[in-house]
Amino acid sequence: MKGTIIVCLRDMLAEQNGQSPNGWKDMLAASGMDRNRVILLSTDVDDGQTLALFGEAQKRYFKSHEELANAYGHYWSVIYAPKIYTAVYKGVKSARDFLLKMDKVHVQVTETMANARPPRFQYEEKENGDLVVHYISARGLVHLYAGLARGIGTYFGEKLDVKVLENNRVSIQFPAAAGKAA
Give contact residues for ligand HEM (rule: CB under 6 A): 1-2, 4-5, 77, 81, 85, 88, 99, 102, 105-106, 109-110, 116-119, 137, 139, 141, 144-145, 148-149, 152
Sign of CA dihedral 117, 142, 173, 158: negative
Closest approach, Cβ 111 to ligand HEM, in A, equals 10
Measured from the CB atom, the residue of 27 and 95 that comes closer to ligand HEM is 95
In whole angstroms, give the CA distance from residue 160 to residue 153: 6
Listing from the earlier edge strand, what are the strands of the sheet with 169-173?
120-125, 131-136, 169-173, 161-166
* 82 vs 129, beta carbon nearer ligand HEM: 82
Residue 37 vs 117, nearer CB to ligand HEM:
117
Instruction: Give the nearest distance from C-beta 43 to ligand HEM in angstroms.
Output: 10
Q: How far is the CB of 173 from ligand HEM (least distance, A)?
A: 15
Closest contact distance (angstroms) between CB of 57 and ligand HEM is 15
Closest contact distance (angstroms) between CB of 116 and ligand HEM is: 4
DSSP structure class, residue 180: T
Rounded to a whole number of angstroms, the minimum distance from the CB of residue 18 to ligand HEM is 25
Residue 123 corresponds to which amino acid?
Y
Angle at 94 between CA 67 and CA 152, to 5 degrees: 15
∠ CA 110-112-115, nearest 5°, is: 65
Q: Alpha-carbon dihedral of residues 9, 11, 15, 16, nearest 10 degrees? A: -10
CA torsion through residues 3, 151, 108, 173, sign: positive
- Closest to ligand HEM by CB, 71 vs 99, is 99
